[in-house]
Amino acid sequence: MENEFKASEDWLSSIPLMDDTQAGSLRRILNLAAQLPDDWSGMQGLTTLQEDFGALRFQLAFMSFALGLTHVHHLPAAPGVFKQPFNSLIEKILSPDVWTYWHYISTGNGPFNKSIGKQPGQWDPVIKDNIMYSAYVQSMALLYHYLFQDDKYAAEGALTFSIDPMFWDEGGKHFVYDEKSLNDHLYWSMVERGYLGIACEPNCVFQICNQIPILGFRFHDFVYGGSLADEVTSGYLQAWSEFGVINDSGHFNMMVQEHERQVITPDVLPWTDFWMGSMMHAWNPALVREHYPKFVDKWVTKLPDGSSFVTPAPAAALGLKERGNAHDFGWAAVCASELGDTSLLKGLHEFADEHLQPAWQDGGYYYRRCDQLLTEDGLLRAMDPHTSNALLPYSRLNVTGGLRKLYEEPLQEEHFSQPKLISLEPSLDVLRAKYDSKVQAMVLTLKPTHGMEKNSTVSLEITNVWKRGDWHIQRDHETLALCDSDNISSSTSSAQLKRLDDSVLIEFELTDITTLVLSWK
């Protein structure tokens, strides 16, 4: 009977495993997501007022995108690895620690909005402008709903921005939204601006941050139907034809000043090209691929040993104080991962692992913060939390065209009804998790988290396993159990199995890398 269930070695070998640095990069995100509310250990950036492009909101958002890409492309049968951490990242981005910067930045009078004069400070962080925050909340909530079929953020008030101080403004301030009302608000704000986009700071419409609501509109279309994303992208290209999405030298224009109707693109900002290219590739891949070689030629330094780095843009180009960060480097890695430039991606990762202070902490792989910009030899030295926690993990965990596939290839209903891992020990790394309907088998490869205790009993819950006919559970070629459509028929002493409604609970001792295969006739 066992041979009727046995998945072939060829099938197993066709499903790749994540390597140690990928597993460690994922673990870094999971660890940060699991920290207590408003514990930002390991995430504090270079500006205490959350002003720079490595602020908490950007870390939280791109960590969540990395989780989504890893789930869809590497571990589609393991939503239990991702759902709670993703939810925690959404809860964290709602913290006033993340968004109260807006009350001060909304007053304007900065480098690019002096022409409109000083504005009254706003407390509501999404009502006007500030697409550099509101779109991340919108896209994260809708992606969560889409990936996990959980509508918790569709409930009225589920996305409420609250600040309730102890000693001023008794009763606090509360701005009530949900994923639908926030999405509608951003859509109509786009329409009112003729699809040019919504400003980040007052008067400043950055192309980059307006890629994010487009992703959110797409996830909204997947959940609720409709074609908001197609409408907005069509209008966007028409609106930007006045200024040019790409400038005459073949690089992305950075932003338009609304009042002056003037485009601004400092010619010293690698992140403008790589960040924009990474995101726009989801819906306009031809344009990005046409110009990507110019980005690499201009910004990337390739070393004789095969490694590569990107020299950081001078902060003065945006009127900022000089502080060391590796955002340009990180975004080059993300863009290379999305475009499938495996040679450059390998070179960037090799440089980071050799020169940028890699470390392991609680099973997570990351890079220590360093504010020194360059070495005496002119090599990149800087590292910052955004690049370490979000961008380099994203680049390691993405696949070629990963965001494009997420945007263009919606998950089918079959995906959600297949066997899947929904619960596991927090000290377990999952290296692969996939169900194949043609083979009628599911493979899970697990290992103890890097640096954690290896000899321990672990517990897994796998759902959607019953009412499918006779099936078989195997661990590293050892039979653990035979099951019929409704019950466990027989099992060995090396594992404990129990039926839980539509799930099975499996407990066994894990000492090293272990592969479980569940096969149906």
The residues near 73 (Cβ < 8 Å, ≥ 6 apart) are 398, 399, 402, 405
Q: What is the DSSP string of 221-236?
A: HHHH-S-HHHHHHHHH
CA 323 – CA 315 distance, rounded (Å):
7
> Which of these, 426, 433, 396, lies nearest to 79 by C-alpha position?
433
Q: Residue 239 pLDDT > 70, yes or no?
A: yes
pLDDT in tens, 43-87: 998 888 898 899 999 999 999 999 999 999 999 999 999 999 999
Q: Please give the single-letter amino acid code of residue 364.
A: G
Contact between 322 and 316 (Cβ < 8 Å): yes
Of all residues in the chain, the percent with pLDDT exceeding 90 is: 86
Retrieve residue 367's tokens: 């890079």
Contact between 89 and 37 (Cβ < 8 Å): no
Of all residues in the chain, the percent with pLDDT exceeding 70 is: 96
| 8-state DSSP, 213 | H
Largest CA distance in the chain: 79
So what's the pLDDT on residue 271?
95
pLDDT in tens, 426-464: 889 999 999 999 999 999 999 998 876 666 789 999 999
So what's the pLDDT on residue 484?
95
Query: How many CB atoms within 10 Å of residue 20?
Result: 13
Q: Please give the single-letter amino acid code of residue 240.
A: W
CA 169 – CA 234 distance, rounded (Å):
44
CA 33 – CA 80 distance, rounded (Å):
14
Retrieve residue 54's tokens: 């490595």
| 8-state DSSP, 318 | G
Its pTM stands at: 0.96
**Torsion 276-277-282-283 (CA) sign:** positive
| Residue predicted with more confidence, 470 or 168 | 470
Contact between 245 and 253 (Cβ < 8 Å): yes
Q: What is the DSSP string of 247-300?
A: -TTSSB--EEETTTTEEE--TT-HHHHHHHHHHHTTT-HHHHHHHHHHHHHHHE
pLDDT in tens, 328-383: 999 999 999 999 999 999 999 999 999 999 999 999 999 999 999 999 999 999 99
Q: Residue 7 pLDDT > 90, yes or no?
A: no
pLDDT in tens, 154-212: 999 999 999 999 898 889 999 999 999 999 999 999 999 999 999 999 999 999 999 99
Quick one: pLDDT band at residue 150, thresholds 50, 70, 90?
A: very high
Q: What is the DSSP string of 141-209?
A: HHHHHHHHT--GGGSTTSEEEEE--SSSSTT-EEEEE-HHHHHHHHHHHHHHTTTS---SSTTEEETGG
pLDDT in tens, 498-508: 999 999 999 99
**Residue 341, CA atoms < 13 Å, CB-side half-sphere:** 24
So what's the pLDDT on residue 218?
98
Q: Residue 1 pLDDT > 50, yes or no?
A: no
Q: Residue 231 pLDDT > 80, yes or no?
A: yes
Domain boundaries, the chain: 415-520
pLDDT in tens, 385-423: 999 999 999 999 999 999 999 999 999 999 999 999 999
Quick one: pLDDT band at residue 321, thresholds 50, 70, 90?
A: low
Retrieve residue 506's tokens: 């499996």
Retrieve residue 429's tokens: 């790394």
> Which of these, 284, 246, 287, lies nearest to 403 by C-alpha position?
284
pLDDT in tens, 46-55: 888 898 899 9
The dihedrals phi and psi of 24, each to the nearest 5 degrees, come to -70, -35
SS3 8: coil
The CATH number of domain 415-520 is 2.60.40: yes
CA 400 – CA 357 distance, rounded (Å):
27
Q: Which residues pair with 423 in a beta bridge?
A: 461
What average pLDDT does the chain have? Answer: 94
So what's the pLDDT on residue 5?
61
Quick one: pLDDT band at residue 490, thresholds 50, 70, 90?
A: confident
Helix (H), strand (E) at residue 394: helix 392-397
Cβ burial 94-125 (10 Å sphere, 16+ → b, else e): bbbebbbbbbebbbbeeebbeeeeebeebbbb
